[in-house]
Each structure stands twice: as C-alpha cells, then as structure tokens.
Amino acid sequence: MSPMKLCVPGDKLCSVEDCIPGTGVYLRHGYIYSSLAGYVLKKNEGEELPVISVVRETEAQLLPDVGAIVTCKVTSINPRFAKVHILYVGSTPLKDRFRGTIRKEDVRATEKDKVETYKSFRPGDIVLAKVISLGDVQSNYLLTTAENELGVVVAHSESGAQMVPISWCEMQCPQTHVKEFRKVARVQPEYLQA
C-alpha cells in the first residue's frame, strides 16, 4: 500500500471542486481542511468525485445518532419505562456508557397500551434498540424496540441460565424449562439451528 499522507488540524487538503468532504474534515471558503491529526484517505465511489476523509488508528468516541441501532443493557424497570445503559453503537463498543430510556409505548408496535414492562424486559437483559431521539433537558436518549428485529437478545432466567427464545414474546430456560415473558428480537436466519 502506498504510504498515506500525514495531516494535522488546519491543513488545507484540496478544493471542494476536486473532492467531496467525508469524516474528519471541514469546509471553509470553498476549501477542505483537516480537523484531525491522522492520515488522508481518498476513496473513489462511482463516477462522482472521490470522498476525502482523515482517519486515525484509534477511532475517536462515537456518539449514538438518531436512527442508529444500539446494543444496551437494562438497568431498571418501572411500569412506565425501562432505563438502559447503551454499550455498543452498531458494532463499535463505547468507552463510556450512555444512558437511555425505552418508554412503555415504544416497546412494541401493536397493542401499545397493553404492554407490561415486567413482561418485556428484566434488569440485566441485553437489548437491541433503535435511537429515536437524543432527548431534551429532562430525558436521556429515547430508544424504541417496536420492530421485529429489535428487542431482547440475551436474557438470563431466574435460575441463572441463559434462556433460549421460543417466540416473539417468550423465552425458555434450558435447565428448568420454565417459560418467561420477554419482548424477543427476531433471530437472524443464519443463527437458527434446524
């Protein structure tokens, strides 16, 4: 691979007519400047102008953005909502935990008023959710699990064993065979064993 060019914040990279700005750069007076200390990466995507971005070896902190799928852990539940700690954004682990809330009406898409949070989540569950709002002054990130692919992924039964999903609303403990209620995420087809 050809040696990539080093750049520091404030370096003028090129004009906006030559490239499209990507991450780690900013626009000023029709020129693209670097905003990070790292290596310049130029990617050609189709017949449009190449995308120029600056990358570092260690990725900087990623923030959950609206519409992103996040992996979180339930910390407490309440008849009105469940509080979670956001651990991963997509597949990138976060260095610091962000706090989120899943409201009762955002747990599932149908029969929203008949939801019982105790039958959807329990503290300690790992949940896949989507960010719907960054929140305002009073609240944290607002998340939703109202889709088939969102919901509980890993849960432990009251006896401590990891449970197996059997339907969209039930999981079963392999040791005691007790069924517990959860809002389960649809398992991806490649993980299903015939």
Site residues for other proteins per CB under 8 A: 6, 8-10, 12, 24, 26, 28, 33, 35-39, 56-61, 63, 95-99, 134-138
**Nearer residue to other proteins within complex by CB, 42 or 179:** 42
Question: Residue 94: which of 61, 72, 70, 65 has the closest Cα?
Answer: 61
Phi, psi of 114 (to 5 degrees): -95, 10
Q: Cα dihedral angle (174, 147, 143, 127), rounded to 10 degrees?
A: 20
Cβ 112 to other proteins shortest distance, Å: 27
The CB-of-25 to other proteins minimum distance in angstroms stands at 9
CB of 129 to other proteins, least distance (A): 17
Distance CA 147, CA 140 (A): 21
Q: Based on CB atoms, which residue is closest to other proteins, 136 or 190?
A: 136
Q: Measure the CA–CA gap between 128 and 122, rounded to whole angstroms.
A: 14
| Closest CB to other proteins among residues 33, 115 | 33
Give me the least distance between CB of 28 and other proteins, in Å please. Answer: 8
Which of 44, 17, 22 lies closest to 34, judged by CA? 22
CA distance 143 to 107: 9
Q: Which is nearer to other proteins, 35 or 75 (CB)?
A: 35
